[in-house]
Every structure is written in structure tokens, then in C-alpha cells.
Structure 1
Amino acid sequence: MDDGPDQPHRWYSTNLVGVPAPVLASTGFNAHPTRLAIAGVRETQAGLFALLDRSHDLNEAGDMFVHYLATAFGLRKPEPQALAAMGPAEQRRWRSSWRTLLQGWGMDANGPAGAVLKGWVESRFGLVPSYHKAPLERFPSLAWVGYLEEKAASRHHSNNILQQLDLLYEFCQWALRRFPLPGSAAPSEHLQLWRGSNRCEEQLIQGSLQMRRCTVRLNNIVSFSLSPEDAACFGDWVFEARVPACKVLVFPGLLPGHVLRGEQEVLALGGDYEVVARYA
């Protein structure tokens, strides 16, 4: 893998979590993570988290969170009569929500929704994406232009969508510290997760697949699965990884409704991961 200074993972970017991006992307951070918080989110939404602290279980907390976002960002779709009275631009605003963004990711991680999510990670955590439809290598390139266009397009990038994602991340972190992941006995600093992949050679940065234990460089936001069987549906190789809880954005059961639940998908920040690889 080319490791020159013009590679995206070598770029330095500011972030809002107080941990330098190269450190956040490293295997060292994954082994010894620290809690992360997006600057200002908890402070400006103290009422929401005070309300969440009174919840008795994750289902109740999830309902509270969804209701709060629907109120704060006007996510409830108006009645047909009221909607018809709005202009086309105002009607389109109702599609810009955290839920439609995650649904778009579930359909195609390299589509417009995926670009917005990768852009959110880039702006909040300083992690530059390495892939969107094609490798994002030297800038400028056609691949980079396509990614930047989709990242800024109004189809998903409106209605304060980045602030919605900020709240989603902080809610997920609150939930992981208070409740165990489904199937776990207690909250943990790490989650044992699996990821299916077909692009193994270009992700490999240390070791070899034949040695089983190796280091791979993942995109700035990626999907993991809760079991190796689920992960095997997404690639010929399955990577087993210990993912820091502080890097998780969404996990099954966090939110009401069918949000990435069918594939038992965990959405987490990427970077360099030490993994155990096996052929599916």
C-alpha cells in the first residue's frame, strides 16, 4: 500500500473531539481508547440527556430520543394539505433526517447518504475517507470531485443533518455506557465485531491474510456485524476486530424501527485495525 505524504490518511485535519486524527485512527488508540465527546453537543442539549437519565431501559430511551429529534428538527411530516401548500424546496426538507440517511447507507454505503456520513466523520473526527465508489487517493481526481459533490448535495445535506448526527453519536455513547450491547452481559470498553470484505489486499498494511493476524486500514466509517455468519454475507474474507465503544455510531436495538437492524449492522469509525482474518 502506498504510504506517501499525499495519501489521505496522512492528511492532518482539525476535529471536534480533542484527539488528533492520526492518533484516533491508530491501532494504539483502538487498544487503549479514551472517551470521546463532540464539543458542545452535551452542553447545548443538557435537557435531552437529563431526560434520558430518567429512562428505565433502552427502548424507553430510544423513544425519548426520537421524539426529541422529531420536535427539535421538525421531522414529523406535515399533513397532506399542509404539505401541498409548501413550495418544492420546503417539501424536500422533510426527507433530510438521520433516519433517511441511515436507510440510504443501508442501501448503498457509496451513495449520496454514504458521502454525507463520511463527510460528517471527516468534519467531527478529522478522519479523511479513503474510498467512495473508487479509491480516494491523490487530490484532485474524478473520484474526489464525485465524493465532494455528493457530500454537499442538498438531497441529504440539509435540515441541520450534521447536528442530527452529532446528537445520534452522543446518544449512542450515552447508551453504550449505561446499557450492554444486545447479547452482552454488561457495558464494555470494546465490542467484539466482524466485517466481511472483498477488498482485502488494498486494505492490508501489515502482515498477511495467510498469517490470519494482520493490520488493515478501513474507511473513515464502516459497517461491522455482530456475528461472523452475518459478516460472511458481505465478503469472501471475514475480519474479527475489537472495536472501541467510543467509535460506535449505531448498533442494533439502539433506535426504534428498522434502522440497519435487518443486517445486525454496527456503524463505527474506521482507521487502522488489528484483525484476525479468515476465509469465509
Structure 2
Amino acid sequence: MDSNRQPTQTPDPPPPSLPAHARLTLNRCNLPAVILGSLTYQHHPVDLELDGIAPLHTPLLRNLDAIPGHRARARHFQDYMRWRFLLDLPEEAGLTRGRRGRAKADYQRMVRGWSFDSDGREGAVLKRWVESRFGLLARHHAGPLHGRGSETYLRYVAAGTQGLYATNALESQLDLLYTYGQYELGRRAPADTHLRLYRGINRIDEHEVLERVGRHRYRVLLNNLNSFTSERERADEFGDYILETEVPRPKVFFYNRLLPDLLKGEDEYVVIGGVYEVRISVL
């Protein structure tokens, strides 16, 4: 027997991938869901681009480059949205007399609705949008969504469908809102790849735990859309423990400071889900 032979080292297990039951095969961006929803992506993110959005709206992005102030850029973006989607002219957008009320179901109403109740109709629309664009299936909406035949799942699908019915290209509005948010984050801090964000919870099993990797560290599967805060002190208002994680910049869908005066407060971030490594701490 060779006494100098070194013992074989067992390689570390690969980090958790996005489970098959939490993703779609197809999406509408430059990375498949199995990659963008993985732990590897959290550690090594790249920009996410929705199909066709940047080329279609090149004039908007070019004009934003020439505007120095954040508030002025936000006003320009909102003016562009009103012009592009005829938000002030529902009849010209093709909405008939009986459907004019649906013109109010625009991107701003979706954001306000999420802030008020993420399990409401607007929240269902946004989660269905994430499914379509990024291929990440919702895991929770007014209850766990573990079975496609369950009553909770059917109510979720119905709410999302009703929220989109007879709207003015609402999903395209959300595409552009995401793209603008990414533009602003990149302009504000181009070297930053991640944001440290916090979420108040009462129990770790409120989330789907895939693996425990330390005394206070877990790998979890988050819902496909989630609310976080940039202020640790605010997170303790929503639970007995604080979940802390590094969120890839491309996974920020919206944050309150993006459109000043639309929402109260400045610290909420709406984050696209998938597998994340998180740290749990006691208040």
C-alpha cells in the first residue's frame, strides 16, 4: 500500500438549481429560467434583456441619456408611457365605451396595487407577468400554489386573467417599466452588481428551504415576486426575524424611488425570485 497517497477529497455538492416544478421551459428574455433562477445566477449575475424591448424603444433610452436629473428622467419616462400607450386617450387605443374603465389598469395602478396588497388582483397580474417574461412560476398567492388543480391556484389564474382583460397592452407597459428601472439602477451605480436588501419574517419555513448551509444561512426558493426593503430597521416592522440577502441588480423589477411621488416611502424594492442564499438574524 502506498503510504504517500493522498486521501481522495469529496467535491463540494453543486449549489441548488431552480427546481423543475418552479419554472417554465420557455420565457421571453435572454436567459432560460433554469439559469436566471439558480443560485449560480445570484452569485454571478448578468444583465437580463426582455425580447425586443430595447430595439423597439431606442428613442426613449437615447433621450434619457441626455437628461441629467433623476426626477426629470422620471417625468420624461411617464410622458413617454402616456404617448406610447395612449394612456390619456382610451378611445384612440381601441377601448370601446364599455371598456374605457379598463384604461385605468395601467402600470402605475399595478405598482400601487402591489404596494397595497401583493395577494390582490394587481399582484396576480405582476406574478403572471414574471412567469411569462422570466419563466419563474409563482409559489404563493393568497396561499401556497403547489398544485395546478388546487382552488388557490385556480383563483390566482383567474385574478391574473381578469386583471389583464381589456387592458391597453398592460404587459408591454410592465416590460418597459422593468427596462427603465434597470436603466436607472445602472446609471446610479454602474459598478454595483448587487443590492443588500432585507425582509421581515416570523419563521424561516415561510419560505421553501432547499438547504441549510450554516447556523444562520439557508438556500431558499423565493416566490417569483417579493417585497424587500433597503432599510434593515424597516424590516423589523414585518416580523420577528430579518432575512438578509444580496439581490442581483437585474432582479429588481421596481423600487419606490424610481418614480417619485407615485408611492409613499422610498425603501421598498420589488424583487424577482428564484433560488437565493439568505442569512437569518434575530432583531
TM-score (norm 1): 0.86
Displacement after TM superposition at 1:135 (Å):
0.5
Shift in alpha-carbon separation, 1:21–1:229, aligned structure 2, 3 A: same
d(CA) in 2 for partners of 1:219 and 1:157? 27
CA contact (8 A) 1:130 1:137 kept: yes
Is the counterpart of residue 8 in structure 1 residue 21 in structure 2?
A: yes
Structure 2, unaligned runs of 5 or more: 1-15, 91-95
Displacement after TM superposition at 1:47 (Å):
1.0
Percent identical residues: 33
Q: Which of 103, 111, 132 is the aligned partner of 1:102?
A: 111
Aligned partner of 1:243 in structure 2 is: 247
d(CA) in 2 for partners of 1:7 and 1:45? 34
Q: Which of 167, 179, 192 is the aligned partner of 2:176?
A: 167
d(CA) in 2 for partners of 1:113 and 1:191? 25
Q: Over residues 211-244 of structure 1, what are the superposed CA-to-partner deviations in whole Å (9 max), with x where a residue is unaligned?
A: 1111121100111101111111122221111000
d(CA) in 2 for partners of 1:77 and 1:224? 35
2:237 aligned counterpart, secondary structure: helix
Is the counterpart of residue 88 in structure 1 residue 98 in structure 2?
A: yes
Shift in alpha-carbon separation, 1:98–1:191, aligned structure 2, 3 A: same
Aligned partner of 2:212 in structure 1 is: 207
Matches within 5 A, 1:247-266: 247-259=251-263, 261-262=264-265, 264-266=267-269
Aligned partner of 1:81 in structure 2 is: none
1:43 aligned counterpart, secondary structure: helix
Displacement after TM superposition at 1:143 (Å):
1.1
Is the counterpart of residue 268 in structure 1 residue 277 in structure 2?
A: no
Shift in alpha-carbon separation, 1:17–1:247, aligned structure 2, 3 A: same
User: How many pairs align?
Assistant: 261
Report the structure number with the largest CA radius of gyration: 2
Aligned-residue CA RMSD in angstroms? 2.3
Aligned partner of 1:33 in structure 2 is: 45
d(CA) in 2 for partners of 1:230 and 1:107? 16
d(CA) in 1 for partners of 2:136 and 2:183? 22
Aligned partner of 2:186 in structure 1 is: 177
Shift in alpha-carbon separation, 1:269–1:189, aligned structure 2, 3 A: same
Q: Which of 128, 131, 147 is the aligned partner of 1:119?
A: 128
d(CA) in 2 for partners of 1:155 and 1:272? 28
TM-score (norm 2): 0.86
2:256 aligned counterpart, secondary structure: coil
1:76 aligned counterpart, secondary structure: coil
d(CA) in 1 for partners of 2:180 and 2:247? 18
Aligned partner of 2:146 in structure 1 is: 137
